[in-house]
Chains A and B, each alone.
Chain A
C-alpha cells in the first residue's frame, strides 16, 4: 500500500470516527428532548422541564464538539481526497450542500433559541425550537447517509468521456434505494446511544441516591425508548441493511461472515478468526444454515464464498472488517437483552430497587458508542477496495499533490488536538452530571 494513501485513509478514518461520537448522541438526544418537552407540556410537571434542561446542557456540549469536529469532514473531501472530489463532486456535492442549506441553518438557528431563549419564548414556542432542532439534525443525517449511500451503491449518474462522473438523475441520487435501510439503521442507532446514555445516568443517580425523582424519569424514558430502538436495530433495520449488502456487495458479505467456501446452507459464525492466507475460519462457532436463511429466506440457499471472487475485489482488510461486524452484532445483542430485561423490571415496578440491573445499565454506557463505531467500520471497510463501489477505487481518489509527510503532519496535529478535546469533553460532562438536573446546585 502506497504510504500517502495509507495516511490519507487513516486521516479521514480517525477524524470521522472521533466526530461521530458526538452526533450519534445529539441526534438521538434531540428526539428524547422532544419527548421530555412534550411530557412537560402535557403534564405540567416541572420535573420534566428540569430533565429537559439537564439534557439540553449535555446536548449543547456534544453539539459544540460535533460542530467543531464536523467542519474538518467537509474540508477533507477537498484537502485529502481531491481526485475523488474533482470527478464526483458534481454528484455528492449536491447532497453535502443540501445538508448545509436545509439542515445546518435550521439546526443552528433554533438551537441558539432553544438554549438561550427559554425565558424569551412561550412554552409552546420553546417546544417548537426543540422540535426544529430535532428536525434539522435528522435531516442532516439523511443527507450524509445519502452521500455515503451513493458511494456504497452509486445511482443517478453517468460517466463522461474524460472519466468525470456526472449527475444524471437528481431523484436517483436522493432516493437511492440504499438510503432507506441505512438511514433507518443509523438513526435508530443514534436513538440507542441516547437512550442508553439517559438510562445510564438515571441508574447512576438512582444508585447514588441523588436526584431520584429525575432518575426515575431518565430510567423510564431511556429504558422504554431503548427497548424499542435496540429491537429495531436487528429487525427490521439491521435485517434490511444486511440484505442490501448481501444482494449488492456479495463479496463484502462473505468477508464480514468469514465465509471462504461457497456452500448451500451457509452458516453464521458467532466467533472465529479469519485466516486469509490459509483461507479458513479458525476456531469457528457456527449456527448452521442461518446465513442462507437471513440472506435469501431459504435454509438451503447457496451463498458464495470469498474463494469465488477475484482477490483484487476482496475488501483489503478482511480481519478488521470481520471483527468490526461481529463486535457490532455482539454488543447489539447484549444491549437488546439488557434493555428487554430492564423494561420487564420497569413494568413490574422493580427496576429502581434492582441494584444489579442498575449497575449493568450504568456500565453499559460505552457499548452503543463501540457498536456504532464498529458498524460504521463495517460499512466503510466493507466498501473497500472501492471508494465509489464498482466505479472508483480508493487508491484513485487521493489528492495527487499532498505528500505522505504533509498528511502525517496534519494527522498528528488532529491526534493531539482531539486528545485535548476528548479530555475537556469528559471533564465538562462529568461536571454537568455532578451538578445534576436541579438548577441552583445539588438537593
Chain B
C-alpha cells in the first residue's frame, strides 16, 4: 500500500518537473523562431530567467525521491540508460550555461552562439525525455539481477533487441517535442506582448494540430505494442479518467487559445501534459519498468521499492517539505506575475 502511495508521489514529482521545466524547455525550442531581435530574445529569457533553475530542482528532487523510494528502479534505469542519461546531463549543462552566460557579453558573436545552444539543447532534451518515457512503456531487457544495458540504437525496431532509439521511442520523442513546443508557446504568450506574442500565437495554433496527430498515433501505437496497457485499462476502467484529462486539456488549449484566454490556455496545456504522463503511469502499473523479454523479469512497485520503514518515515518529511516548496514557488511566481518588460 505504502509502495503505491510512493508510486503516486514519484509520478507527481515527475509530472511537476515536466509541467514546470517543460515550459522553459518549450520556450527554448521556440525562441529562435518567434523572437526575431535582441529585445525579443531578452523577453523570452527574462520570462524564464528567475524560475528555470527552480524548475530544474524538480528533476533533482524527483530523482532523489525515486532513488530512496525505488532504489532498484533507480539503479537499473540509470545504469541501463547510461548513454542516454549522460547525453541528457551534457545537454542540461549546455542549456544551463547558455541561459546564464549569454547576457554577460554584448557581442554579435557571443549572443547568437548561446541562443543556438539554448535552442538546440532544449529541443534535444524534449526528444530524449520523450524517448526515455517510450523506453519505460515498451520495456527493457532486464537480466536476472535486475540490470540491463541498452545501446543507443540497433535496428530501430522495438523488439527484444531494441536500443534506446527505435521507431516507437522516436515517436514518443516526437510527441514530447511537439507537446513541449506547444507548452512553451503558451508560456511565452502568457508572459509577453506585441509581435513576439503574435508570432507565438500563430505557432501555437499550428503546433496544436501536430500535437493532436502525434497524440493519436502514439495512443494507437502504445496499445498495439504494450499489451499490458490494454489489460490494465480493461481491468480498471476508472483509469480512463487519465486519458480523458489529457483530451480535456488538449481541447481546452484550442478553445481557450481561440478566445484569447492566455492563462487558461497555458493551464490547459499543463493539464494535457499531466494527463498524458498519468495515463502512461497508470497503464504501466504495477510495473515501474517492464521487461520486453519476459514479463516476470519486470520491476514492479513491490520488488523495486525500499523497505516499508523507510517509506513510512519518508512520508513524514516529504509531505511537509513539498508543502513548503509549493509555498515558495507560489510566492515567487506571484512576485514575478505579469508580463515581462519589453
Chain B residues with Cβ below 8 Å from A401 are: 79-80, 143, 147-149
Whole-angstrom distance between the alpha carbons of A98 and B75 in the complex? 19
Contact with A along B58-79 (1 / 0, CB 8 A): 0111111101110110111111
A44 lies within 8 A of chain B by Cβ: no
| Cβ contact of A90, chosen from B59, B68, B329, B336, cutoff 8 A | B68
Whole-angstrom distance between the alpha carbons of A96 and B306 in the complex? 14
Chain A residues with Cβ below 8 Å from B49 are: 112, 116
Contact residues of A with B, CB < 8 Å? 60-61, 64-65, 67-72, 74-75, 77-80, 82-94, 96-102, 104-106, 108-113, 115-117, 120-121, 160, 164, 166-168, 170, 399-403, 406, 409-410, 413, 417, 421, 424, 428, 431
Helix, strand, loop or mixed for chain A's interface? helix
B86 lies within 8 A of chain A by Cβ: yes
B93 lies within 8 A of chain A by Cβ: yes
Helix, strand, loop or mixed for chain B's interface? helix
What is the interface residue range for chain B against chain A?
A: 35 or more
Does A101 lie within 8 Å of B335, measured CB to CB? no
Question: What distance in Å separates the Cβ of B177 from its nearest Cβ neighbour in chain A?
Answer: 21
B332 lies within 8 A of chain A by Cβ: yes
| Cβ contact of B75, chosen from A60, A89, A409, A410, cutoff 8 A | A89
Chain B residues with Cβ below 8 Å from A104 are: 57, 60-61
Chain B residues with Cβ below 8 Å from A417 are: 90, 93-94
B295 lies within 8 A of chain A by Cβ: no
Closest to B80 in A: A401
| Cβ contact of B318, chosen from A75, A87, A97, A410, cutoff 8 A | A97
Question: What distance in Å separates the Cβ of B321 from its nearest Cβ neighbour in chain A?
Answer: 4
| Cβ contact of A112, chosen from B51, B62, B76, cutoff 8 A | B51
A90 with B61, Cβ < 8 A, contacts A69-B93, A401-B147 known:
no
Closest to B64 in A: A97
The stretch that binds A, out of B95-103, B195-203, B212-220, B270-278, is B95-103
Contact residues of B with A, CB < 8 Å? 49-51, 53-54, 56-57, 59-65, 67-69, 71-72, 74-80, 82-83, 85-86, 89-90, 92-94, 96-97, 100-101, 104-105, 143, 145-149, 306-307, 309-310, 313-314, 317-318, 321-322, 324-325, 328-329, 331-332, 335-336
Whole-angstrom distance between the alpha carbons of A402 and B50 in the complex? 37
Does B68 lie within 8 Å of A428, measured CB to CB? no
A74 with B64, Cβ < 8 A, contacts A85-B71, A86-B72 known:
yes
Does A101 lie within 8 Å of B82, measured CB to CB? no
Whole-angstrom distance between the alpha carbons of A64 and B94 in the complex? 11
Pairs of residues from A and B, 8 with the lowest C-beta to C-beta distance, nearest first: A93-B68, A89-B71, A78-B78, A100-B61, A90-B306, A97-B64, A112-B50, A105-B325
